[in-house]
Structure 1
Amino acid sequence: MKLKMMLLMITIVCVLSACKADERIKLVNSGENERTIAYEENQFTVHITEEMNEAISNYVIQKYSSVYSHLEKQFEVHNVYGASETNGIFTVYLYSYFGGYNKFSGLENQAGHSLPAVIRLQKKAEGYAVIEYTEPKDGSLYQSSLKQMFPEKYLKMMYEDAGTTEKLQIEMDKKVKRWLDAERVR
C-alpha cells in the first residue's frame, strides 16, 4: 500500500512539473493612445498597460534628466520582453532606448543610451510608481549581471530579437516628431 501511494505521488509530481504552460505574449489592445500587452506565464496573465509604460518612460527620463540637462527634451521608449506580478509588485523585463534632442537638430539624437533593464512597479493612488530600477553592470561584469537580472527565457528573447533597436528608433522618431510639430505651432 505504501509503495502504491509513493508511486502515485511521484506520478502526480512528474505530471504537474511537466504541465508548465508555454509562455505566450500577445498584444491585447493596440492603438495610438492605448497599448496593453499581456504576458501569460503559468496560466496567470500580467497586463502591461499604457499607464505602466508611461510610468516606466517618465522614471527613466527623470533619472537621466540631470545628466542630459543641456538638451531641450528627453524621450524614452522600450520593448518589453516579459513581466510578472507578486504581491502587487510588477516586475518588467525590457530593453530601453533613451535619447535627448534639441529643436535645431530635429530627429537627430544628440545624446542618450540603450540598454536592458528590470523595473519594479507598484500601484499607488496616483498611478504606478517605480520602486526599483536595475541596469546591467559595465565591462566584464555585463554578461554575468544580465544573467542575474533576467530569467533565461527573457534573456534568450533579448538575444534573438535583432530588430529591437530599429523598432525602438521608429517609435522614438514618432515621439520626437510630435514634439517638434507641437513646438512649430507655438
Structure 2
Amino acid sequence: MRKRSWLPALVMIPLLAACNQGIANGDKEVTPEMDNVISTAIVEHNEPKFEKTDEQFEVHKIYGTKEGNGTIDVYLYTLYEGYHLATGDDIQAGASLPAHIQLKDEGNRYTVVKYEEPDDGSTHQSSLESMFPKKLAKKAMKDEGSAAGLDQDMKKKVHAWLEEG
C-alpha cells in the first residue's frame, strides 16, 4: 500500500486562499478598478476626520458583494492610516472598522453612491447587523480588534511610500 502525502494539499490551500483575497464571495467579483474606487472613497471619507498627515493609506478585506438594481453592495473591513515622512512608519492617524459601500457601474467606471460605517458604542453591533447580511456581520465582528489581519498589507504600502520619499 502506498502512503499519500498531504503536504502538497496543505501547501496549496493557503496559496489558493491568498489568491482569492480581495475577491468577494457573492454576486460580483471585485475588480482592481472597484478596489481603487473603494480605497479612494475611504481615504476621502476619513481624511477630514483626522489630523492632517503627509500621506494616507487604506487597505481592506472584502467579505462579500451583492449585485442588484444597477448597484453593487460591497461589505468589507477597512484599515485607514495617516503618516508623516519625518516620523517614518509611526502611525499618526487611523481607524479600522467594517464598512458597507454601494457602487454604481457606469460602464466599467464605478462611482460610490453610498458609504456607511456602524455606530460607535452601545449601538455598534446592532447597526453593523443592520448594514451587513447576518453571516458577513459575524465575520466582521470576529475581525474587530485585530484589524482583520490587514497590518502587513498596510506596512507594505507605507514602506513602499517611504522608500520613494
Coarse TM-score class (shorter-chain normalised)? 0.7 to 0.9
Q: State the TM-score, normalized to the length of structure 2.
A: 0.80
Q: Structure 2 regions of 5+ residues with no counterpart? A: 1-15
Paired position in structure 2 for 1:182:
164
How far 1:143 moved relative to its partner? 1.4
Give the partner amino acid of 2:103. Answer: L
Percent of aligned positions with the same letter in both sequences? Answer: 40
Preserved contact between residue 29 and residue 37 of structure 1 (Cα < 8 Å): no
Paired position in structure 2 for 1:50:
32
Q: How does 1:29-68 map to 2 (within 5 A)?
A: 30=19, 37-40=23-26, 45-68=27-50
Q: Structure 1 regions of 5+ residues with no counterpart? A: 1-26
Higher deviation after alignment, 120-129 or 89-98: 120-129
- The CA RMSD over aligned residues, in Å, is 2.5
Q: How does 1:62-81 map to 2 (within 5 A)?
A: 62-68=44-50, 70-81=52-63
Which has more strand, going by share of residues? 1
Give the partner amino acid of 1:142. Answer: H
Q: Distance in 2 between matches of 1:73 and 1:160?
A: 29
Residue 107 of structure 1 aligns to a residue in which SS? coil
Q: How does 1:28-177 map to 2 (within 5 A)?
A: 30=19, 37-40=23-26, 45-68=27-50, 70-124=52-106, 127-161=109-143, 165=147, 167-177=149-159
Q: State the TM-score, normalized to the length of structure 1.
A: 0.72
How far 1:73 moved relative to its partner? 0.3
Residue 48 of structure 1 aligns to a residue in which SS? coil
Number of aligned positions between the proteins:
150
* Bigger Rg, structure 1 or 2: 1
How far 1:124 moved relative to its partner? 2.5
